[in-house]
Each structure stands twice: as C-alpha cells, then as structure tokens.
Amino acid sequence: MAENRNFPSIFQPLKVGPITLKNRLHFAPMVSAHADAETGRVTTDLIEYIGGQARNGVSLITIGSTPVDFARGRDYMGCLSVTNDFDVPGLTLLAEEAHRYGAKLSCELQYAGRIADPLFLNGMKALVPSVTPDMDPNEFAEITKEEIQDVIRLFQNAAKRLKRAGFDMIMLHGGHGNLTSAFFSPLTNQRTDEYGGSLEKRMTFGLQMAKALREAVGDKMAIEFRISQDEFLPGSPTWDEQAAYINALSEYIDLVNISNGLIWHPYYVRYMMPSYLEPRNLNVEAAAYIKQRVSIPVAVVGNIPDIQTAEAIIAEGKADMVSMARNLIADSDFVTKAERGQAKTIRPCLHCLDCVTFPNVGHPLRCAVNPVAGRETKYHFISRSDTPKKVLIAGGGPAGMMAAQICARRGHSVILCEKSDHLGGRMLEASALYAKDYHRRYLDWDIKTTQNCVSDIRLNTEVTRNRKLYASLLPKPISSVMPIP
C-alpha cells in the first residue's frame, strides 16, 4: 500500500487480532435510532446509514449501544436488536453493506444496568452489581449469581448471531456506568462474594464475559473492550487499575477503546460525549498512559477536532487508532477528502450535540451542518440535475449558503443575495464567544466554500418584490436569441 503523503500515520493498516484494518480511523459507536423503534430490526434507513459511513472511507464502523437483553438491558429507542435468531438476515445486510466499501463492521454489545431506560423495563427492576445508598431499591435490584450467568449467555448468543451475520468484530462495552462497567468500580460494586471487593474480584465479571465472548466467536472475529478510563468521582478505579484490568483482559481481547465519564451522573455525563465547551483531545493522555502499559492496540475517542490532530496522535505514538463519530457525520466525505489531499475542504463539526439529541428521544439522527446525514435513503447521492435552472437564494446566512452550495453542486446557476455587507448571518454573533472556536472554523469553511462554488454573490442586495430582478432571472424569450423567420 502506497504511503499517503498528507497523513502517513492515519493511512497505515492496523492488525487487530485476526483482522487487518485499512487505516487508523474508526467510526465510534453511536446510536443513530434508525432501527425499528419497537423491535430493533434492521431497516433500509439503517443499512443506508451504515453504507454512508463505509463510503466515507473509515476502516471500522461500530454500531452503538446494542443491548443483549431487549426487555431489561436497553437504554435507547431505535437501537439495534441482536437478541433473536430472526435478526440475523437483517444483520447480514448490514455487514454486506459495510464490506461493499471496504470497511469492517463491529457492534457494541452492552447490558444497561443502572442506565437502563425505565420506559423499557415494564415494571421490572434494573439489574446492578449492588444497590448502593444513592439508588432507589424500588427501581434497582442486585443481580444474583444465577442472573450473572444468564447475562453472560445472552452476550454469547448475541455474539454468535453477529458472527453468523458476517460481522468482523464485537465491542464489549465496559464503560460509562453500564453493568459491566459497574462491576469494576468499587463505588458501584460493594459485593462481598467472588465478584466484589479486591481489584482481582472486581475484574471477575469482565473476565468471565470476555472469555465467554472469545469462546463464542473463536479466532475469526476480533474483540474490542471499551472502558471509561476516568470516571472522575472520588474512589473510582485508578489509571493503574485500568491498565491491570486491560492486561488481564488481553488474553481474550484484541483492542481497547479509551473513553471516560458516566452516563448516569448529571455532571460527568458531559465527558462521555463532550461538547465544544469541553477540553479538546479529552482522553489522549489517558490513552498514551495505557498504551505504555499494555500489549494490545489502543484506540482513543473524545473531542478530537480534526484529521490533522488525529494524525499527530498516531504519529506521536499516543494511540494506535482514532475513534470519531461527529466529525464523520458532519462531512460524509471526511476520510476520502483527507486521503486525496483535500483536507482543507472538510466540513468542520460544531460539536453541538444535535446528532446525539435526536436519538436520545428516539428520533433518527440528524446533523446541524450536514443535511444528508441520517437521510441517506432519501439523499443517497447528490446528483447533477437533468434540467439546470437559474436559482435565486435570498439570504447569505448558514441556511442560504448551504442551499447555494447544494444548488451549485447540482449544476444550477445560483444568484445569492445578502442584504448586509457580509456572508454568515447571525452565525457571526453566535460564534463570537471564546469557547466557540468550532463554530468560527465552520463559518470560515462555509463562507470560503460558498465563494468557491457560487460565482454570483450579491452583497448589500435585499430581495424584494422587484420585477426587474425577477425578470433578470427568467430565461430570455426564444425570439431574442433566434430570429423568427
């Protein structure tokens, strides 16, 4: 494989257990809420969404937060089901679509535990390692040893279905406060049996789970383990404990993914998927710390702003792989543009969390800056128009500029009128605060992209009911261009 001169580290293959990834960019697990809301079955919208990310050029796609128990371990509406053998045909279509574009496909298996959505529990209590004083005993129940084995079997069965469907990898979600994560933390695991107490005992559940998954998939699939390297609460696992845990798990897993935060905590949930208000490269130093202490590849996620930063992370040896979701949603050609030396044309992500907000309430994913994201079935490709027109667009704010760009891309002749002396609209004010550097980068990109693709931009021009302006947009009468005999 020829070295990419622009990003030589990112576009190097990576061996992960039995599979080889074509580059170091990973579409991080994120629920898109495209699966059937009631059953979790695969839909055409979900297939096209996965296909869109595969076309983007990533080497690995992980479908987010997939419960192994749809009745008691679920935390999202619109999440994927892997709980029934009847799910396998649909899952096969997902794998085929990812493979069609050279991507490997994975699935984040989890059991919600404390973070289960009460909407789906139907009066049952959520299972947790221990009912701690901050929990309502009417809502939570301590999982028994028998139930632990039942949960492990559910994970195994789900993994076997994914293997049958042609998936390349599974991710065991052991972070963010779910059941697997809670067993490892002394704050949420206060058991006195073989599953709680010392570090070694708190590892037991995760080790049993990882071993069972390896037995289920054999040596043909890779296994990734996701952790919250830092939960931030006093008494949470230390970084050294996390490193020891990963080393113990490495007998069964091939890759570790470094995240952080707790989804159930009102303050530390913000670090799980950080907005533009949080520090950049949130987990990179944690990943570098772990990478020095473990023998398997390390992936890192968390507010990584752009492809240049991702390249530096790999080049400096702080991680082996960079996981992104929002950047790849914001520009459907993110990876392709970087690979072709067109990184300056990548549409920046605002990190505004719109893409997270919609699935949180069961609505399919949408993006504030990319109107195609989540609508891949409707806008599979933006094609050239068979009947190009002259188009007038009133207003040079973000919406007007996006409309102008799409119309120009379709081959229309665009006149963009803006009544002020500049493009950008209210985005100029919205991006003025010190924390909104992502917004300023987006605005700069938006204006330059519009200027590059629209030749007729009229500033200080208000669109009114001006017959002369409208007349200038109409096609000339035939008689004016071709004499009538």
Average pLDDT, the chain: 94
pLDDT confidence band for 469 (50 / 70 / 90): low
Contact 298, 256 (CB under 8 A): yes
Q: Residue 227's pLDDT is what? A: 97
- The residue length of the chain stands at 485
- Per-residue pLDDT, averaged over 35-50, amounts to 96
**Which tens digit of pLDDT belongs to each residue from 166-209?**
999 999 999 999 999 999 999 999 999 999 999 999 999 999 99
81-129: pLDDT as tens digits: 999 999 999 999 999 999 999 999 999 999 999 999 888 898 999 999 9
Determine the 3-state secondary structure of 105 from DSSP: strand
**Residue linked to tokens 């799910």:** 87
Domain hosting 39: range is 14-360
Sorted by sequence, the CB contacts under 8 Å of residue 299 that are 6+ apart come out as 26, 224, 255, 256, 257, 258, 287, 319, 320, 321, 322, 323
Q: What is the pLDDT of residues 143-158, one digit of tens each?
A: 999 999 999 999 999 9
pLDDT given at position 266: 86
pLDDT at 475: 55
Domain final residue, candidates 345, 360, 375 = 360
CATH code, domain carrying 331: 3.20.20.70
Q: Please count the other Cβ atoms lying within 10 Å of the Cβ belonging to residue 219.
A: 8
To the nearest whole percent, how much of the chain has pLDDT over 90? Answer: 87
In a domain, 152, yes or no: yes
Tell me the pLDDT band of 2, cut-offs 50, 70 and 90. Answer: low
382-426 pLDDT, tens digit each? 899 999 999 999 999 999 999 999 999 999 999 999 999 999 999
79 located within any domain:
yes
Give the number of domains in the chain: 2
Task: Look at residue 44 in the predicted model and tell me its pLDDT.
Answer: 97
- What pLDDT is recorded for position 478? 41
Does residue 427 surpass a pLDDT of 60? yes
Same domain (yes/no): 178, 85: yes
427 plus 280 within the same structural domain: no
Q: Nearest 5 degrees, angle CA 206-CA 268-CA 350? A: 110
The DSSP 8-state label assigned to residue 365 in this structure reads: P
pLDDT of the residue at 380: 83
Provide the pLDDT for residue 483: 37
Take residue 79 and report the two structure tokens written for it. 């999440």
Check whether 476 has a pLDDT greater than 60.
Answer: no
If asked whether residues 65 and 168 sit together in one domain, one would say yes
All residues at 6 or more sequence positions from 122 whose CB lies less than 8 Å from its CB, including other chains: 71
Rounded to a whole number, what is the distance in angstroms from the first to the last CA of the chain?
A: 65
Last residue of a domain, one of 309, 343, 360: 360
CATH code of the domain in which 457 resides: 3.40.50.720
Same domain, yes or no: 121 and 236: yes
Query: Does the pLDDT at position 49 exceed 70?
Result: yes
> Which of 360, 379, 403 is the endpoint of a domain?
360
Whether the per-residue pLDDT at 460 is higher than 60: the answer is yes
Query: What is the per-residue pLDDT across 200-258, written as a single tens digit (0 to 9) for each?
Result: 999 999 999 999 999 999 999 999 999 999 999 999 999 999 999 999 999 999 999 99
Asked if 88 and 237 sit in the same domain, the reply is yes
Give residue-wise pLDDT tens across range 339-395. 999 999 999 999 999 999 889 888 999 999 999 999 999 988 889 999 999 999 999
